[in-house]
Structure 1
Amino acid sequence: MAKQVYLNGELVPQAEAKVSVFDHGLLYGDGVFEGLRAYRGKVFRLTQHIDRLYDSAKGIWLEIPLTREAMADAVDATVAANGLSDCYIRLIVTRGAGSLGLDPRKCSNPQVIIIADSIALYPAEFYEKGLEIITSSVIRNHPAALSPRIKSLNYLNNILAKIEGIQAGCIEALMLNHKGEVAECTGDNLFLVKKGGLSTPSLEAGILDGITRDFVLEIAAEQGVPAVERPLTKHDVYIADECFLTGTAAEIIPVVKVDSRVIGDGKPGPITRRLEKRFREETGK
């Protein structure tokens, strides 16, 4: 059965899901998106994702032509129409078709697109054995130029860092901010474990306000694991006892080597495993 894509109020076959070549989402990356997950037929933290989508849209002066409640219903309907229980969902809102210029006032009819499909961001073996990553020379966008808290359709900054990682034989790369501090990876937030406590960069480091990141902070508190949001350097990463990444697509994945430095004993650590277990319990995975 052909995949059904939600497009502006209708579910249409994948081959018929089309937007104009004059859409500013295509021409300029002018739009916003969310990545969501459904587990056992229920979308994980749907309200938080919808809220972040609308915050991103407000940040770029884009009015979404649906209420939040209607958007949530459309996400659920798309998952159901594709007969999926566990899946990844991409929710996109573009500026709409306009002229060959930057003026958003000359665009009309923002496009609302919802895709439900399977995804495997990293091979299963890396969840068991851990990732090896490098630090990219590509710095994270300066937050005064483009707030990383806006999930815009322009991900070229992250893609350039991803390319550098791939060329170095790694499938993920760490990005620093304009101060030389640790920000995040190309598609994930980062956590360190040192002496039984968690550390992660704060939002002021120029990172995405990750929803899985927030969940990890919640379950750490629930389990009595101390956690702090603070500036981190590469040195902090190198000397960590454990390191792991979080994200909707990635979920929770351990990192065992960074820039050829072995993290801890080179194996996923006990706190990482505890948090992974609690995550699976919550999602039913």
Structure 2
Amino acid sequence: MKIYLDGKLVEKEDAKISVFDHGLLYGDGIFEGIRAYNGRVFRLKEHLDRLWSSAKAINIKIPIQQKDMEKAVIKTLLTNKLCDAYIRLVVTRGSGDLGLDPRKCITPPSIIIITDNISLYPEELYEKGMDVITVSTRRIKQDSLSPNIKSLNYLNNILAKMEAIRSGVMEAIMLNAEGYVVECTGDNIFLMKNGVLYTPPGSEGALIGITRDAVIELAKNKLKIPVREERVSIYNVYTSDECFLTGTAAEIIPVVSADSREIADGSPGKTTVKLIKEFKNLTRLTGTPIK
């Protein structure tokens, strides 16, 4: 496997950065998780736009142009002969000293592109649905750190994931400081109720996910389902007609119980199944060609 590292493609074993890189020392950096399907990179421009927005928000100047980053992603996939892959694109602050001051970083930001296969959840969960719990770890308040900055510091999410693992489930619902549903540890959340699709808005602290946006578009345009971005309580989850999660790695996965309460009849909902089918068609037929 070849890794893109600062303009060069190197063997996995040789892909090394300094121990003084502030991405390692302080989580001072940003990333994107991207998918390639059937020889096309799904919504690459949207992912790169978000990467550049994250960089601007934390005052990192990415040392190459966006069009060159696109070429680097494609080149890495071609080198590794991958048509279907998960792409992890990382930009670190660069190498500095042991202090917090980013001005002390003496090297340009590092760019890392990893392309590999991924299987976030077992295939049977996509067919039968998954169980989730609500965790005590609250999502970081939006006025402290914007959820739309995809930073390298995911400790908040990891602590929530650990709670889920201890409870014997693979994913967990996170609430904000006011007690409203925000998202899961790595996925956005959707609910169906009385023919309307609901999802928490970004103002509640949810990441505006690329897959989330694709699902909203499919629901509105393909299935003609009204979509509302508004506050969601855990009561709304318990009493929903359907529930599912979305994410780049997860894609769309049904939820059939939350905190030991069955969602509707305890099986994946009809709308969820339709959206999964439409999403698969979308990823198969659209995207930036790998060539």
Q: Give the paired residue count.
A: 283
In the alignment, what sits opposite 1:133?
132
> What code does the residue aligned with 1:115 have?
I
In the alignment, what sits opposite 1:21?
19
C-alpha distance in 1 between matches for 2:40 and 2:76: 12
**Could you tell me how far 1:178 is from its partner in structure 2?**
1.0
Answering whether residue 3 of structure 2 is matched by residue 8 of structure 1, we say no
Q: Secondary structure at the match of 1:215?
A: helix
In the alignment, what sits opposite 1:55?
53
C-alpha distance in 2 between matches for 1:231 and 1:197: 14
Q: Secondary structure at the match of 2:115?
A: strand
C-alpha distance in 2 between matches for 1:95 and 1:137: 31
Answering whether residue 81 of structure 2 is matched by residue 115 of structure 1, we say no
In the alignment, what sits opposite 1:250?
250
The answer (yes or no) to whether the contact 1:29–1:154 under 8 Å persists in 2 is: yes
**Could you tell me how far 1:283 is from its partner in structure 2?**
1.3
C-alpha distance in 1 between matches for 2:65 and 2:108: 15
Cα deviations by residue, 1:230-261 (Å, 9 ceiling, x for unpaired): 00000000000000000000000000000000
C-alpha distance in 2 between matches for 1:56 and 1:179: 25
Answering whether residue 179 of structure 2 is matched by residue 174 of structure 1, we say no
Q: Secondary structure at the match of 1:256?
A: strand
C-alpha distance in 2 between matches for 1:61 and 1:102: 14
Aligned partner (choices 59, 63, 66) of residue 64 of structure 2: 66
Q: Secondary structure at the match of 2:121?
A: coil
Q: TM-score, normalised by structure 1?
A: 0.98
C-alpha distance in 1 between matches for 2:231 and 2:102: 36
User: Over the residues paired in the alignment, what is the CA RMSD in angstroms?
Assistant: 0.7
Cα deviations by residue, 1:175-231 (Å, 9 ceiling, x for unpaired): 001111000000000000011110000010101110000000000111201110000
In the alignment, what sits opposite 1:209?
208
Answering whether residue 262 of structure 2 is matched by residue 262 of structure 1, we say yes
Q: Which has the higher contact order (CA 8 A, sep 6+)?
A: 2
Q: Secondary structure at the match of 1:69?
A: helix
> What code does the residue aligned with 2:75 have?
A
**Could you tell me how far 1:139 is from its partner in structure 2?**
0.4
In the alignment, what sits opposite 2:280?
280
In the alignment, what sits opposite 1:241?
241
In the alignment, what sits opposite 2:218?
219
> What code does the residue aligned with 1:6 have?
Y
In the alignment, what sits opposite 1:228?
228
Q: Secondary structure at the match of 2:32?
A: strand
C-alpha distance in 2 between matches for 1:161 and 1:172: 9
Q: Secondary structure at the match of 1:99?
A: coil
C-alpha distance in 2 between matches for 1:62 and 1:102: 14
C-alpha distance in 2 between matches for 1:140 and 1:72: 32
In the alignment, what sits opposite 1:192?
191
Q: TM-score, normalised by structure 2?
A: 0.96
The answer (yes or no) to whether the contact 1:212–1:246 under 8 Å persists in 2 is: yes
The answer (yes or no) to whether the contact 1:256–1:263 under 8 Å persists in 2 is: yes
In the alignment, what sits opposite 2:94?
96
**Could you tell me how far 1:284 is from its partner in structure 2?**
2.0
In the alignment, what sits opposite 2:151?
152
In the alignment, what sits opposite 2:289?
none
Q: Secondary structure at the match of 1:284?
A: helix
Q: Secondary structure at the match of 1:274?
A: helix
Moved more, 31-40 or 218-227: 218-227
In the alignment, what sits opposite 2:80?
82
> What code does the residue aligned with 1:226 have?
P
Please, which runs of 5 or more residues in structure 1 have no aligned partner? none
